């Protein structure tokens, strides 16, 4: 690491951003548009033209996630063992062809078969992008880069909705035109073109041709500080003990539960969002336009969260908790406000309040490359998370039943329950990580190593593909897990440091923020003492005990 300067790393990071981020943004946006376009097509006659009855329309989404689930784990193994960029590009071209063919379907059997194939091809894109972020970027960069390509869910939809609006006007100019078919032709053709383009530009440091050999080495060295090793794409090593370790790690289950609970509402909204808008009293074309302010708000939220996460460390789980509250209120309003001409804008306002729900799943994904060392363990955790993603979306599309139309009250109440449970699970997840960090701190204070030595040893362990259970120098959050500041005023705090060159009086230790900052600094001084304190923040050097 010492052979490269910060300026060299900065220049390389900018080059990586220029090549990767725009392409990942486009790919992820196209995927989302392809996946959710079925809802827009439904408002332009898809169900009537294909003769869909009962729950058949819901099954178009459910079958997508069934095949997504079945091929999720095998696809993740393929991503680990072969060239990730090429595999992702091939899958992308495959689903583009499938979306293109949807425009030629004539009945339920044909379209449900194609939707199943679409789920097969799309199953590796999101977990593949999570692995790419982990292989290219440092832990401090994971959130901002993940939210950048995640913002394409809404950002690309703005452009796509305007194009689909133009195609939808054909229904009024030529009533027999079946505009949903032209929507399929447009999205499928665009996906194929983007997939071919990805063959050259997308991949890991071992894949892409736009890096020199020295830049590849620098890119791998840059991410050693993640303590999870460098890119090993193409190395067929599978460690079953890391799989067993996942099964006893609570964070493994928290990740899957968050994915499930956040994707039940997602499955309902992506499948029935446009239908809900028309049920408020809007036309199909108006429903498309009303999605644009929702998408703009979603993009702005991603930008704000990315900036905040970069400036203030360890706030991802707090944001995930906060992101549950507005959707909970919004869905309650949708469930219990009567639908009339005078309330359609109120109900749309309640629907608008559900926008922040997308943050929880994306931030949960960023915790995987940041907090799960061990390549096999990270792959299994990512796969399990997307199992929750699939099952959640399947349930979300099925709890909105045809007999509950047009208000779908039961499905909306089910979404409210999911947001409440999601808030509780997120609190438990953060509590687990904080307690785990404190358990690691106790022996580390008595090992005789400096902070720099621990950091170096952590990188070496990560390069050797050790998991967080095996590597005692991994911290799941950054180095300062702050309890509420008022806590300081109810426990004894250090009065002074016993060192002839350092004297710290009580008046210099307040307010509470400075106490933590100062103690985080002086805890590495060779010899100091303090008064009795129950807080884990203050520990005697070389003893590892609370005093």
Tell me the C-alpha distance between 299 and 151, whole Å: 5
Number of H helices, E strands in the chain: 23, 0
Q: What is the pLDDT of residue 502?
A: 36
The residue assigned the tokens 């996942």 is 246
Q: What is the pLDDT of residue 482?
A: 34
Whether the full predicted model's pTM is greater than 0.75, yes or no, is: no
CB 76 within 8 A of CB 379: yes
Q: What is the pLDDT of residue 465?
A: 63
Q: What is the pLDDT of residue 97?
A: 94
Q: Rounded to 5 degrees, what angle do the CA atoms 295, 195, 139 make?
A: 65
Q: Where are the beta strands (DSSP E) in 258-376?
A: none
Tell me the C-alpha distance between 426 and 433, whole Å: 11
Q: How far is CA 432 from CA 243, 321, 487, in A?
A: 20, 15, 20
Total length of the chain = 547
| pLDDT tens by residue, the chain, 547 residues | 557 788 888 888 899 888 888 988 999 889 888 888 888 888 888 888 898 888 888 888 889 989 988 888 788 778 777 788 888 889 999 989 999 999 999 999 999 999 999 989 988 888 788 788 878 888 778 777 877 877 888 888 888 888 888 888 877 777 777 888 999 999 999 999 999 988 888 888 877 888 888 888 888 888 776 554 444 554 456 788 888 888 988 889 999 999 999 999 988 887 787 788 888 888 888 888 888 888 889 888 888 887 887 778 778 889 999 999 999 999 999 888 888 888 889 999 999 999 888 888 888 888 887 778 777 888 788 888 888 988 998 888 888 887 787 778 888 899 999 999 999 999 999 998 888 877 776 666 556 666 666 666 666 666 666 776 666 666 665 333 333 332 333 333 333 333 333 333 333 333 333 333 333 333 333 223 333 333 333 333 333 433 3
144: closest CA among 355, 9, 308? Answer: 308
- Domains in the chain, CATH or no CATH each: 6-230+241-436 (1.20.1250.20), 485-547 (no CATH)
Tell me the C-alpha distance between 23 and 18, whole Å: 9
Q: How far is CA 18 from CA 25, 130, 210, 214, 458, in A?
A: 11, 18, 11, 18, 30
């Amino acid at each position: 690491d010492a052979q490269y300067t910060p300026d060299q790393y900065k220049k390389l990071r900018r080059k990586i951003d220029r090549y990767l981020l725009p392409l990942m943004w486009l790919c992820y946006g196209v995927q989302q548009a392809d996946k959710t376009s079925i809802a827009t097509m439904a408002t332009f006659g898809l169900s009537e033209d294909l003769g869909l009855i009962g729950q058949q329309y819901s099954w178009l989404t459910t079958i997508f996630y069934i095949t997504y689930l079945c091929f999720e784990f095998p696809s993740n193994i393929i991503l680990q063992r072969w060239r990730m960029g090429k595999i992702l590009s091939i899958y992308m071209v495959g689903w583009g062809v499938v979306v293109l063919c949807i425009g030629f379907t004539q009945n339920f059997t044909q379209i449900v078969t194609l939707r199943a194939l679409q789920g097969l091809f799309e199953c590796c894109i999101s977990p593949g992008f999570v692995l790419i972020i982990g292989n290219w970027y440092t832990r401090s960069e994971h959130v901002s880069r993940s939210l950048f390509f995640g913002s394409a869910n809404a950002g690309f939809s703005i452009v796509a909705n305007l194009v689909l609006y133009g195609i939808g006007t054909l229904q009024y100019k030529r009533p027999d035109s079946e505009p949903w078919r032209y929507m399929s032709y447009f999205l499928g053709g665009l996906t194929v073109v983007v997939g071919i383009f990805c063959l050259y530009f997308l991949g890991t440091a071992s894949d892409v041709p736009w890096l020199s050999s020295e830049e590849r080495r620098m890119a791998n060295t840059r991410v050693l500080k993640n303590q999870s090793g460098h890119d090993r794409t193409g190395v067929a090593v599978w460690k079953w003990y890391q799989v067993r370790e996942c099964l006893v790690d609570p964070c493994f289950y928290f990740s899957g539960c968050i994915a499930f609970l956040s994707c039940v509402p997602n499955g309902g909204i992506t499948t029935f969002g446009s239908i809900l808008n028309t049920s408020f009293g809007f036309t199909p074309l108006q429903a498309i336009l009303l999605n644009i302010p929702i998408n703009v708000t979603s993009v702005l939220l991603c930008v704000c969260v990315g900036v905040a996460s970069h400036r203030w460390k360890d706030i991802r789980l707090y944001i995930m908790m906060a992101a549950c509250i507005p959707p909970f209120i919004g869905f309650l309003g949708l469930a219990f406000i009567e639908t009339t001409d005078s309330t359609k804008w109120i109900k749309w306002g309640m629907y608008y309040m559900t926008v922040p729900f997308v943050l929880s799943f994306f931030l949960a994904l960023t915790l995987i490359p940041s907090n799960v060392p061990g390549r096999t363990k990270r792959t299994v955790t990512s796969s399990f998370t997307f199992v929750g993603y699939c099952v959640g979306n399947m349930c979300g599309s099925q709890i909105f039943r045809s007999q509950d139309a047009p208000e779908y009250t039961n499905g909306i109440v089910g979404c409210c329950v999911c947001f409440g449970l999601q808030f509780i699970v997120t609190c438990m997840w953060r509590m687990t990580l904080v307690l785990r960090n404190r358990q690691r701190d106790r022996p580390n204070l008595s090992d005789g190593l400096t902070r720099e030595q621990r950091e170096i040893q952590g990188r070496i362990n990560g390069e050797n593909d050790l998991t967080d259970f095996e590597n005692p120098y991994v911290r799941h959050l950054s180095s300062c897990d702050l309890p509420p500041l008022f806590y300081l005023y109810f426990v004894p705090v250090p009065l002074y440091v016993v060192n002839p060159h350092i004297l710290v009086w009580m008046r210099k230790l307040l307010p509470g923020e400075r106490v933590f900052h100062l103690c985080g600094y002086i805890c590495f001084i060779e010899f100091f003492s303090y008064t009795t304190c129950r807080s884990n923040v203050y520990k005697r050097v070389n003893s590892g005990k609370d005093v």
